[in-house]
Amino acid sequence: EVQLLESGGGLVQPGGSLRLSCAASGFTFSSYAMSWVRQAPGKGLEWVSSISTSGSNTYYADSVRGRFTISRDNSKNTLYLQMYSLRAEDTAVYYCAPRSPGANPFDYWGQGTLVTVSS
Amino acid sequence: EIVLTQSPATLSVSPGEGATLSCRASESVSSNLAWYQQKPGQAPRLLSSGASTRATGIPARFSGSGSGAEFTLTISSLQSEDFAVYYCQQYNKWPLTFGGGTKVEIK
Protein backbone atom coordinates (compact mmCIF):
# COMPACT_ATOMS: atom_id res chain seq x y z
CA GLU A 1 0.00 0.00 0.00
CA VAL A 2 1.35 3.40 -0.98
CA GLN A 3 1.87 5.69 1.99
CA LEU A 4 3.01 9.30 1.91
CA LEU A 5 3.48 11.01 5.24
CA GLU A 6 4.11 14.74 5.16
CA SER A 7 5.50 16.54 8.18
CA GLY A 8 7.15 19.78 9.19
CA GLY A 9 4.24 22.15 8.81
CA GLY A 10 3.27 24.70 11.43
CA LEU A 11 2.97 28.38 12.24
CA VAL A 12 5.78 30.63 11.03
CA GLN A 13 6.16 34.39 10.87
CA PRO A 14 6.38 36.23 7.56
CA GLY A 15 9.95 36.10 6.30
CA GLY A 16 10.62 32.89 8.19
CA SER A 17 11.72 29.47 7.02
CA LEU A 18 10.38 25.95 7.25
CA ARG A 19 11.36 22.54 5.91
CA LEU A 20 8.74 20.02 4.93
CA SER A 21 9.38 16.30 4.64
CA CYS A 22 7.48 13.52 2.93
CA ALA A 23 8.26 9.95 3.96
CA ALA A 24 7.25 7.48 1.27
CA SER A 25 6.62 3.75 1.39
CA GLY A 26 4.80 1.06 -0.54
CA PHE A 27 6.41 1.84 -3.90
CA THR A 28 9.86 2.15 -5.41
CA PHE A 29 10.56 5.74 -4.42
CA SER A 30 13.64 6.12 -6.60
CA SER A 31 11.62 5.24 -9.72
CA TYR A 32 9.16 8.08 -9.34
CA ALA A 33 9.46 11.79 -9.88
CA MET A 34 8.06 13.61 -6.89
CA SER A 35 6.14 16.84 -6.50
CA TRP A 36 4.68 19.23 -4.00
CA VAL A 37 1.19 20.63 -4.57
CA ARG A 38 -0.47 23.10 -2.23
CA GLN A 39 -3.98 24.21 -1.45
CA ALA A 40 -4.74 27.48 0.30
CA PRO A 41 -7.70 27.38 2.69
CA GLY A 42 -10.93 27.15 0.72
CA LYS A 43 -9.08 27.41 -2.60
CA GLY A 44 -8.04 25.15 -5.44
CA LEU A 45 -4.91 23.14 -6.10
CA GLU A 46 -1.61 24.76 -7.10
CA TRP A 47 1.46 22.89 -8.27
CA VAL A 48 4.54 24.10 -6.41
CA SER A 49 7.59 22.08 -7.42
CA SER A 50 8.77 18.80 -8.91
CA ILE A 51 11.99 16.80 -8.87
CA SER A 52 13.20 14.03 -11.16
CA THR A 53 13.94 10.50 -10.00
CA SER A 54 17.64 11.14 -9.46
CA GLY A 55 17.19 14.70 -8.24
CA SER A 56 19.16 16.14 -11.12
CA ASN A 57 16.22 18.09 -12.53
CA THR A 58 14.00 20.41 -10.54
CA TYR A 59 11.05 22.57 -11.53
CA TYR A 60 9.31 25.41 -9.70
CA ALA A 61 6.21 27.53 -10.00
CA ASP A 62 7.01 31.19 -10.58
CA SER A 63 5.35 32.02 -7.25
CA VAL A 64 8.02 30.12 -5.29
CA ARG A 65 11.09 30.11 -7.52
CA GLY A 66 14.08 31.51 -5.69
CA ARG A 67 12.45 31.00 -2.28
CA PHE A 68 11.73 27.24 -2.17
CA THR A 69 14.12 24.34 -2.79
CA ILE A 70 12.98 20.79 -3.51
CA SER A 71 15.27 17.85 -2.83
CA ARG A 72 15.10 14.13 -2.19
CA ASP A 73 17.06 11.39 -0.47
CA ASN A 74 16.45 8.12 -2.26
CA SER A 75 18.33 6.20 0.43
CA LYS A 76 15.75 7.39 2.96
CA ASN A 77 12.71 7.38 0.64
CA THR A 78 12.11 10.97 1.62
CA LEU A 79 11.19 14.14 -0.24
CA TYR A 80 11.88 17.61 1.11
CA LEU A 81 10.77 21.17 0.52
CA GLN A 82 12.89 23.90 2.06
CA MET A 83 10.92 27.12 2.21
CA TYR A 84 12.50 30.54 2.80
CA SER A 85 11.15 34.10 2.91
CA LEU A 86 7.67 32.84 3.61
CA ARG A 87 4.71 35.06 2.85
CA ALA A 88 1.11 35.07 3.98
CA GLU A 89 0.10 33.79 0.55
CA ASP A 90 2.17 30.64 1.14
CA THR A 91 -0.35 29.58 3.78
CA ALA A 92 -1.74 26.27 2.56
CA VAL A 93 -1.89 22.54 3.01
CA TYR A 94 1.14 21.08 1.24
CA TYR A 95 0.76 17.66 -0.36
CA CYS A 96 3.48 15.44 -1.75
CA ALA A 97 2.64 13.34 -4.78
CA PRO A 98 4.59 10.88 -6.94
CA ARG A 99 4.50 10.81 -10.72
CA SER A 100 5.75 8.11 -13.02
CA PRO A 101 8.61 9.54 -15.12
CA GLY A 102 7.50 11.34 -18.26
CA ALA A 103 4.15 12.94 -18.92
CA ASN A 104 2.02 11.44 -16.19
CA PRO A 105 -0.48 12.56 -13.56
CA PHE A 106 -0.12 12.49 -9.79
CA ASP A 107 -0.78 8.85 -9.01
CA TYR A 108 -1.16 9.18 -5.26
CA TRP A 109 -1.36 11.93 -2.68
CA GLY A 110 -0.36 12.23 0.94
CA GLN A 111 -2.71 13.68 3.53
CA GLY A 112 -0.87 16.97 3.60
CA THR A 113 0.74 19.22 6.17
CA LEU A 114 -0.56 22.68 7.00
CA VAL A 115 1.74 25.67 6.77
CA THR A 116 0.45 28.91 8.27
CA VAL A 117 2.39 32.12 7.71
CA SER A 118 1.20 34.76 10.12
CA SER A 119 2.49 37.22 12.68
CA GLU B 1 1.33 28.89 -18.80
CA ILE B 2 -1.64 26.74 -19.83
CA VAL B 3 -4.85 27.94 -18.21
CA LEU B 4 -7.54 25.36 -17.53
CA THR B 5 -11.10 26.65 -17.22
CA GLN B 6 -13.64 24.36 -15.59
CA SER B 7 -17.36 24.77 -15.91
CA PRO B 8 -19.71 25.04 -14.27
CA ALA B 9 -18.24 26.17 -10.98
CA THR B 10 -21.07 24.43 -9.13
CA LEU B 11 -23.36 21.69 -10.34
CA SER B 12 -26.49 20.72 -8.39
CA VAL B 13 -27.55 17.17 -9.10
CA SER B 14 -30.02 14.74 -7.56
CA PRO B 15 -28.72 11.30 -6.54
CA GLY B 16 -29.14 8.88 -9.42
CA GLU B 17 -28.88 11.57 -12.06
CA GLY B 18 -25.91 12.08 -14.36
CA ALA B 19 -23.44 14.96 -14.42
CA THR B 20 -21.20 16.41 -17.10
CA LEU B 21 -18.17 18.49 -16.12
CA SER B 22 -16.14 20.49 -18.61
CA CYS B 23 -12.47 21.46 -18.72
CA ARG B 24 -11.15 23.77 -21.43
CA ALA B 25 -7.44 24.44 -21.97
CA SER B 26 -5.97 27.67 -23.31
CA GLU B 27 -3.92 25.59 -25.75
CA SER B 28 -3.71 21.97 -26.76
CA VAL B 29 -2.53 19.56 -24.06
CA SER B 30 -2.86 16.54 -26.35
CA SER B 31 -4.33 13.79 -24.15
CA ASN B 32 -2.20 14.73 -21.15
CA LEU B 33 -5.09 15.60 -18.89
CA ALA B 34 -6.13 14.10 -15.57
CA TRP B 35 -9.20 14.38 -13.37
CA TYR B 36 -9.13 14.30 -9.57
CA GLN B 37 -11.85 14.07 -6.95
CA GLN B 38 -11.51 15.80 -3.59
CA LYS B 39 -13.85 15.44 -0.64
CA PRO B 40 -13.82 17.84 2.34
CA GLY B 41 -10.83 17.33 4.58
CA GLN B 42 -9.30 14.75 2.26
CA ALA B 43 -6.48 14.70 -0.25
CA PRO B 44 -7.33 14.61 -3.95
CA ARG B 45 -7.72 11.21 -5.59
CA LEU B 46 -6.79 10.42 -9.18
CA LEU B 47 -9.85 9.45 -11.23
CA SER B 48 -8.51 9.31 -14.75
CA SER B 49 -5.51 10.17 -16.87
CA GLY B 50 -4.68 10.25 -20.56
CA ALA B 51 -8.03 12.05 -20.82
CA SER B 52 -10.01 8.81 -20.68
CA THR B 53 -8.20 6.04 -18.78
CA ARG B 54 -9.75 5.35 -15.40
CA ALA B 55 -7.34 4.96 -12.51
CA THR B 56 -7.19 1.72 -10.56
CA GLY B 57 -10.32 1.08 -8.52
CA ILE B 58 -12.38 3.89 -10.03
CA PRO B 59 -15.96 2.82 -10.82
CA ALA B 60 -17.10 2.62 -14.41
CA ARG B 61 -19.68 5.37 -13.85
CA PHE B 62 -16.78 7.83 -14.16
CA SER B 63 -15.89 8.46 -17.78
CA GLY B 64 -13.39 10.92 -19.22
CA SER B 65 -13.26 12.03 -22.83
CA GLY B 66 -11.74 14.64 -25.10
CA SER B 67 -8.39 15.63 -26.52
CA GLY B 68 -6.58 18.76 -27.54
CA ALA B 69 -8.20 21.56 -25.58
CA GLU B 70 -11.68 20.30 -24.72
CA PHE B 71 -12.32 17.65 -22.11
CA THR B 72 -15.30 16.22 -20.29
CA LEU B 73 -15.80 14.13 -17.18
CA THR B 74 -19.12 12.35 -17.11
CA ILE B 75 -20.52 10.76 -14.00
CA SER B 76 -23.48 8.54 -14.68
CA SER B 77 -26.01 7.96 -11.92
CA LEU B 78 -24.42 9.90 -9.06
CA GLN B 79 -24.00 8.08 -5.78
CA SER B 80 -23.88 9.79 -2.39
CA GLU B 81 -20.10 9.36 -2.24
CA ASP B 82 -19.64 11.23 -5.55
CA PHE B 83 -20.61 14.63 -4.17
CA ALA B 84 -17.27 16.38 -4.06
CA VAL B 85 -15.05 18.86 -5.89
CA TYR B 86 -13.51 17.77 -9.16
CA TYR B 87 -10.32 19.20 -10.65
CA CYS B 88 -8.74 18.77 -14.04
CA GLN B 89 -4.97 19.02 -14.45
CA GLN B 90 -2.68 19.16 -17.46
CA TYR B 91 0.71 17.51 -17.45
CA ASN B 92 1.65 18.28 -21.04
CA LYS B 93 3.83 21.29 -20.35
CA TRP B 94 5.56 23.02 -17.45
CA PRO B 95 4.29 24.56 -15.30
CA LEU B 96 1.79 21.89 -14.40
CA THR B 97 -1.59 23.54 -13.93
CA PHE B 98 -4.97 22.77 -12.44
CA GLY B 99 -8.43 24.01 -13.24
CA GLY B 100 -10.34 25.96 -10.64
CA GLY B 101 -12.60 23.02 -9.82
CA THR B 102 -16.26 22.08 -10.15
CA LYS B 103 -18.23 21.42 -7.00
CA VAL B 104 -20.89 18.75 -7.45
CA GLU B 105 -23.50 19.23 -4.76
CA ILE B 106 -26.72 17.51 -3.83
CA LYS B 107 -29.80 19.11 -5.33
Residue B51 has pLDDT above 90, yes or no: no
Dihedral pair phi/psi, residue B100, rounded to 5°: -75, -10
The pLDDT value recorded for residue B53 is 92
CA distance A79 to A58: 12
Summarize pLDDT for A27-39 with one digit per residue, the tens: 999 999 999 999 9
- Nearest CB to A47; choose among B38, B42, B96: B96
First-last CA distance in chain B: 35
Q: Would you call B44 an interface residue with chain A, using a CB distance cutoff of 8 Å?
A: yes
Alpha-carbon span B77 to A42, nearest angstrom: 27
B contacts of A109 (beta carbons < 8 Å): 43-46
Q: With a cut of 90, say whether residue A101 has pLDDT above it.
A: no
pLDDT band at B93 (very low <50, low <70, confident <90, very high): very high
Task: Please name which of B20, B26, B33 lies closest in space to residue B73, comparing C-alpha atoms.
Answer: B20
Put simply, the answer to whether A59 touches B34 (Cβ < 8 Å) is: no
pLDDT attached to residue B62: 97
